Amino acid sequence: MGWTIMIHGGCGAMRPETVSAGQEEAARAGLEAALDAGTALLSRDGSALDAVEAAARVLEEDPAFNAGRGSVLAADGAVELDAAIMDGADRSAGAVAGLRTTRAPISAARAAMEHSPHVLLTYAEADRFARAQGLEQVANSWFVTPERKAQLDRIMAAGGKFDSAIKYGTIGAVAVDSGGHVAAATSTGGLTAKRWGRVGDSPLIGAGTYADDRSCAVSATGLGEAFIRAVAAHQLAMRMMLGGEELGEALDAVLADVGSLGGSGGLIAVAPGGEARWGFTTPGMYRGLACSSGERRVSIYGEADDR
């Protein structure tokens, strides 16, 4: 059978009139590079798990997105990184939260999955684990960009309240390989000006990340608190497996549920049979798709506004 990979780079108030030409060019180039990384593996009969890690790793290195370098800043001025990865073949999973020095959070999540008895590792001990696994460590300042520092300064000057005009920049990837196995990966710097060790949905298996060969692989982006309360990624999978819903129907229902909780955002999902869907309730979502059939596209805005 064929293969499919979908990626996202976050959602938010992106419209053609609010995104500069330079920002759009950088985002599209980053999405194309991530698709290249994933398709290079899948086209050689590589695993969905390897493909989503590779795609996520590219996006983590790209300061156009809120993951890895270019992540948003917490209220104390530091970057804290969360990530998760899951293999639909056996539902093995790994996740990290609150990393401050590990350059590749998604690879730390995979190391947690493969080399620890635990699913979720957090904060300084998670960085220490990643270091012991041979993953590169960098100063926290390496992740910081002038744009993200300016965003924090603006929010703190306004009292520290979240600015809805700033996009939810979580990145993610889902894939199905030629063997019919699915996998999902999600990585983020979280919310600008977050406090008190806040952790969102991205590293929580079943909330922002989920994969199961019996249904689908899912990665979410948006207001994490609402996606946690909706158990969004797992809900989508169970709507398919237990409720008999089609992938698109289930995805739309989950976004409606998130909306009923006061949240907004987006989802990407693929099924073992190759069906792929994305959806979002914000004006735009950075996203891309590539398939063994030759279909490939990258989009940013709502379907009516995209070019």
Query: Which residues participate in catalysis according to the annotation?
Result: 170
139-145: long-range contacts (C-beta < 8 A, 24 or more apart)? 139/101, 140/78, 140/79, 140/100, 140/101, 142/69, 142/103, 143/68, 143/69, 143/70, 143/71, 143/79, 143/81, 143/189, 144/73, 144/79, 145/63, 145/69, 145/70
Strands 182-188 and 276-280 turn out to be: unpaired
Angle at 254 between CA 253 and CA 259, to 5 degrees: 95
Cα–Cα separations (whole angstroms), residue 250 to 150, 239, 253: 38, 6, 5
The burial of 76, by beta-carbon neighbours within 10 Å (0-12 exposed, 13-18 middle, 19 or more buried), is given as exposed
Contact between residue 109 and residue 84 where contact means Cβ atoms under 8 Å apart:
yes
Q: What is the biggest distance separating any 2 CA atoms in the chain, rounded to whole angstroms?
A: 54
> Tokens 């069906």 belong to which residue?
275
Residue appearing with tokens 């041979």: 134
Find the distance separating the first CA and the last CA of the chain, reported in whole Å.
31
Burial of 294 (0-12, 13-18, 19+ CB in 10 A): exposed
CB environment 39-71: b (16+ within 10 A), e (fewer):
bebbeeebbbbbbbbbbbbbbbbbbbbbbbbbb
